[in-house]
Amino acid sequence: MADDSYRSVSLTRTGPGRFEAVNARGGSIPVGMGAGEDGTAFSPVELLLVAVAGCSGIDIDLLTSRKAEPSSFEISAGAEKLRDADGNHLGPVTVTVQVAFPEGAGGDEARDRLPDAVAKSRDRLCTVSRTVALPTPVDFEIR
pLDDT, tens digit, for every residue of 90-109? 999 999 999 999 999 999 99
**Where are the alpha helices (H) located in the chain, listed in sequence order?**
44-64, 105-120, 127-133
Tell me if 48 sits within 8 A of 55, measured CB to CB: no
Q: Count CB neighbours of 55 within 10 A.
A: 22
Counts for the chain of helices (H) and strands (E), in that order: 3, 7
Q: How confident is the model over 121-137, as pLDDT tens digits?
A: 999 999 999 999 999 99
pLDDT of residue 4: 84
Give CA–CA dist 143/130, Å, rounded: 29
Tell me if 106 sits within 8 A of 41, measured CB to CB: no
pLDDT of residue 37: 60
**Fold that domain 43-133 belongs to in CATH:** GMP Synthetase; Chain A, domain 3 (3.30.300)
The residues near 95 (Cβ < 8 Å, ≥ 6 apart) are 52, 53, 56, 75, 76, 77, 122, 129
Residue ranges of domains in the chain: 1-42, 43-133
pLDDT of residue 36: 53
Low-confidence ranges of the chain (pLDDT < 50): 1, 35
pTM: 0.89
